[in-house]
Chains A and B, each alone.
Chain A
Amino acid sequence: MRVLLYISDFIIPAMFVCIILYGLMNRVKVFDHFVEGARDGFTTVLNIMPTIIGLLVAVGVMRASGALDLLVWLAEPFARRLDFPEETLPLVLTRLISSSAATGLLIDIFENHGPDSFIGRFVSVMMSSTETVFYTMSVYFMAVKVTKTRYTLAGALFANFVGVAAALMLTRQLYS
C-alpha cells in the first residue's frame, strides 16, 4: 500500500519528462507551446473565477449560519449506520450536481479539517474519482436530443457510489 504513496510522488515529474522528451524528439518548440497552453489555462481560470466567488460565498453563508451543520446533523444517523464521515455527505451529494459547487464545499472541508486530516484525504481521493453526473448527462444528451436515456443514469450513479465507497476504504487502509 505504501507503494501508492511513492508512485504519487513520481507521477508529475514523470509526466514532465515523458512529454518534454516526446516533444523534443518530434522537433516541437516545447517552450513556445508551453507558454501558449499556459495562457489558455490562465484564461480558463479567469473565466471560472466569478463562479468560484459566487459558490464560495454561498458555502460561506451556509457554514456561518449553521445551515451546513444542520444538514450534517440531519445526515448523521444515516451516515453513522454506514460508518461514513457525515461532514462529507453534503460534498458527496453536491459532487453529482455541480463541480464548482463541490469545489466550494471541498475548500470548506480543507479549511475546517485540513487537507491532511482523514476527512481531507478522503475527499481528495473521492473528488479525483467521481464525476458530475447530472450536468454531464444533460449536456451530452441535450446535444443530440435523446430523451430516453435507458440505464445510463443508473450506471453513472452506481459507478460514482463505488468510487465514494472505494475512496473511503482505501483512505482507511492507507492512513489509519
Chain B
Amino acid sequence: MLNYLWAGMILLGIVVAAFTGNIPEVTQAALESARTAVNLCITLLGIIAMWTGLMAIAEKSGLVAGLAKRMTPLLSFLFPELPRGGRAMEYISTNFMANILGLGWAATPAGIKAMQEMQKLCPDKTRASNSMCMFMIINMSSLQLVTVNVIAFRAQYGSANPSEIIAPGILVTIATTIIAVIFAKVCERRADSA
C-alpha cells in the first residue's frame, strides 16, 4: 500500500511540475525535505527517548500490568464470548493498556497474540468473530492518550504551548472509543438476531 502511495505522490508531483514549470523547485524541495527530515528526527529522538524511558519505568514497576488487570470487568462487558481470565483477555488488556499509554511497539505483538487466541475460539476460521470485530474497531478508534510525536513536531515548529492539544485530544479519543463500542455492539446484536 505504502509503495504505491509513495510512488504515486512523487510521480504525480513530477508530472504536475512538468505542466506548471516547477521542475527546478521540485529538485530544490526534494533536497530540502530530506534535510528537514533529519532535523525533525533529531527533535523526535530526544522527546521519544524521554517518553519511552518514562514508560519503561511504568512497565518494569508493574504499573502497566496492574492497570491492565483492572480492566477485566470492562473487558467482560466488551467481550462476553471470551472466557474470563483467559489468555485472550490477558493479551487484549495488555494491548489496550499499551495503546492508551502510546507504547505502539508493545501494543502490536500483544494485539496479534490476542487475535490468535480469539481465532482458537472462533468456529469459522475465515470469518471474524464478534470479539475480533469489537477488538479491531476499538483498536482503530484510537486509544492513545498523549501523542508525543505530535507534541514533538509542534515544539519543533515553534508552538507557544506544544502540549495544549493533549486534553482536547483525550476528549475526542474517549468520544471515538465510545462511538466505536456502540457501533460494534449494535452490529453484534443485529448479526446475532439475523
Q: Is the CB of B16 within 8 A of A160?
A: no
A40 to B128: give the CA distance in the assembly, Å: 34
Q: Is the CB of B53 within 8 A of A35?
A: yes
Interface residue SS majority, chain A:
helix
Q: A8-B167, A11-B146, A37-B53 in contact; A158/B179 too (CB < 8 A)?
A: yes
Checking A22, A40, A52, A171 against B37 with a beta-carbon cut-off of 8 angstroms, the contacting residue is A52
Interface residue SS majority, chain B:
helix
What residues make up the interface of B, taking CB atoms closer than 8 Å to A? 1-2, 5-6, 9-10, 12-17, 20, 22, 25-26, 28-30, 32-34, 36-38, 40-41, 44-45, 48-63, 105, 108, 111-112, 115-116, 118-119, 124-128, 132-133, 136-137, 139-142, 144-147, 149-150, 153-154, 156-173, 175-177, 179-180, 183-184, 187, 191
Min distance, Cβ A53 to any Cβ of chain B, angstroms: 4
Q: Is the CB of A98 within 8 A of B5?
A: yes
Q: Is the CB of A5 within 8 A of B17?
A: no
Not counting A38-B53, A140-B112, a sample of 5 additional A-B residue pairs whose C-beta atoms are within 8 angstroms of each other reads: A9-B163, A11-B166, A22-B58, A45-B45, A125-B168
Min distance, Cβ B21 to any Cβ of chain A, angstroms: 9
Q: Is the CB of B126 within 8 A of A42?
A: no
- B36's closest neighbor in chain A, by CB? A56
Min distance, Cβ B87 to any Cβ of chain A, angstroms: 14
Q: Is the CB of B168 within 8 A of A135?
A: no
Min distance, Cβ B88 to any Cβ of chain A, angstroms: 12
Checking A49, A65, A151 against B17 with a beta-carbon cut-off of 8 angstroms, the contacting residue is A65
A155 to B184: give the CA distance in the assembly, Å: 7
A127 to B40: give the CA distance in the assembly, Å: 17
Checking A4, A49, A54, A100 against B168 with a beta-carbon cut-off of 8 angstroms, the contacting residue is A4
Q: Is the CB of A167 within 8 A of B172?
A: yes
A158 to B183: give the CA distance in the assembly, Å: 8
Min distance, Cβ B169 to any Cβ of chain A, angstroms: 3
A147 to B126: give the CA distance in the assembly, Å: 5
Q: Is the CB of A65 within 8 A of B26?
A: yes
